[in-house]
Amino acid sequence: MKNMGGQSKFLIGAKRVFNIFNFLKPAPHIPEIEDQAAVQKKYKYWRFRVFYSMFMGYVLYYFTRKSFTFAMPSLIKDLGFDKSQLGILASVLAMTYGFSKFANGIIGDRSNPRYFMPFGLIMTGIFNICFGLSSSLMFFILFWGLNGWFQGCGWPGCARLLTHWYSQTERGRWWSFWNASHNIGGAMIPLITAAVAQYYGWRCAMFLPGVVCIFGGFFLMNRLCDTPQSLGLPPIEKFRNDYPTKKHTDQEHELTVKEILFTYVLTNPFIWILAASYFFIYVIREAIGAWTVLYLIEAKGYSQIGAGGTVMWFDIGGMFGAITAGWVSDTAFKGRRAPICIIFSACIAGALSLFWFYSGTIYIVDAILLFNLGFFTFGPQMLIGMAPAELSHKKAAATATGFVGWIAYLGAASAGYPLGTITQQFGWEAFFLALTICAIVPSILLLPLWGVRSAEDSIFRKKEAAAA
C-alpha cells in the first residue's frame, strides 16, 4: 500500500510536469469567417505578419548557433585548443541539433509555433551565456550540446507555418525568401561576433547573442500565431484554390504520431533519398561556414575581422542562390524541386575547385569566389529541406523535414571533428578534396526525383492507392 501511494504521488507529479507544457498544444480551430472581404484582408495581414516574425526569429537562432564559430580563433589563442578539440564542439552541436530537429519535429507537428519556436530561442540564449561563463572542455561540450538541442525548436515551427500559410505553387518563393534568414543571420554574425571577440574577448562574443535572443523570444510570442483556422480563416489551399493534386485529399485532420512516422515519413523511399543527399550538402555547408575563417587566417594571412568579412559573402551568395532556386523551381519546373538541386549540386564542385586553386590574397577575389560557392550551396540546401514537406503530408511537415534535417546534421557533424582531424593530419588540400567529392554525390542520388512534384507522385502513395 505504501508503495502504491508512492507511485500515485509520482504519477501526480509527472502529470503536473506535463501540464506545464499545455501552452504548446495547437490552437483550436474556430468557426470560419463567412465575409470574403474580411477573409482577404485578414489573410493578407497575417501572412505578412507570420512571415516577418518567423524570418526575424530564425535570424536570431543563427546568432546563437554560429556565435562559437567566429570565436574559434580566440579559443585557440586564449585556451590553447587545437582543431580536433574545436571539431568536437562543432560535432556536438551538429549531432544534438540534428537529432533535436527530428524529435522536435514530431513535437512541432502537434504544437503551437507561437510558443514552441520562442521557447527554444530563449533557451539557446541562456546556454550561450552559460558557454561564455565556462572555461573547461567538459562544460563547453555540455552547454553547446544543450544549445544544439534547443536550436531544434526553430525549424519545426517554421515548417508548420510555411506549409499552413503558403500553398504549393507559391511555396518555393516564400520558403526561399524565408531561407534567406539563414544567410542574413550567417552574414551578420561574422561581423558582430568577430569584432566583439577581437576587441572585448570571446566571452562577450557569446554573451551578446545570448541576451539578444532571450529578448527576441518574447517578441516572437507576441507576433506569431498558429494555423489560419485558429483565426477563423479557411485552409490556404481553399483560400487560393491551389491544391497539390487534382484529387483534393484531406490534409487538415490531425495525425497520430504513429501515422506521421510510419505512414508518411519512415516508409517513404523518397524521404530517404532526400535525407542521403542532404547529408552531403550539409558537409559542404557546415565545413565552409565553420572552417573558412581559420583557413583564411592560417593559409592566407587574413586578420580575424578580415576573414570574417570575407566569409560573410558565402551567406550573401547563399541568399541569392536560395531565392533563385525557389523561384525557378516554382516557375520553370512547376513545383518540382529535384532538377534545380541536381544542377546546383554539380555546380558546387566547380565553385569549390575555383576557391581551392586560387592561392592569391586579394579580398575581392576571395569574396566573389565565396559568393559563388554560397549561391550554389544554398539552393539545394533550401530545396532539399523543403521537399519533404511536399512529399509527405501537411500535418507531418515538421517531422518529415526534421527527419531529413537530422540526417543532414550527421553530415554537419562530419564537418566538425572528422574533417577537422583530416585537415590537422593532411592539410587544407585534403579538406577541399573531401568537399568536392561530397558535391558530386547528391547530383547522382537525386536523379530518381527529377519528375516528382507531390506526395501523390511518390512510390509509397501509389502503393497505398493500389492497396485501397
pLDDT in tens, 56-94: 999 999 888 877 766 677 777 777 777 677 778 777 887
Distance in angstroms (rounded) separating the CA atoms of residues 463 and 311:
47
What was the pLDDT predicted at 82?
74
Q: Which amino acid is at 144?
A: W
What was the pLDDT predicted at 220?
95
Q: Which of 16-30, 187-201, 207-221, 351-365 has the lowest mean pLDDT?
A: 16-30
User: Among candidates 54, 159, 62, 149, which has minimal Cα distance to 103?
Assistant: 149
Distance in angstroms (rounded) separating the CA atoms of residues 193 and 208:
8
Q: Which of 61-75, 137-151, 349-363, 377-391 has the lowest mean pLDDT?
A: 61-75
Distance of CA 236 to the CA centre of its chain: 23
Q: Which of 105-119, 230-244, 246-260, 284-298 has the lowest mean pLDDT?
A: 246-260
Radius of gyration of the chain (CA): 22
Averaged over 404-433, what is the pLDDT?
86
Instruction: Scan for cell 533557451, then name that residue.
Output: 123
Regarding predicted confidence, which is higher, 108 or 246? 108
pLDDT at 21 over 70: no
Averaged over 424-449, what is the pLDDT?
91
At the fourth CATH level, the homologous superfamily of domain 48-227+253-467 is MFS general substrate transporter like domains (1.20.1250.20)
pTM for the full model?
0.72
Instruction: Scan for cell 565553420, then name that residue.
Output: 290
Count CB-CB contacts under 10 A for residue 392.
Answer: 29
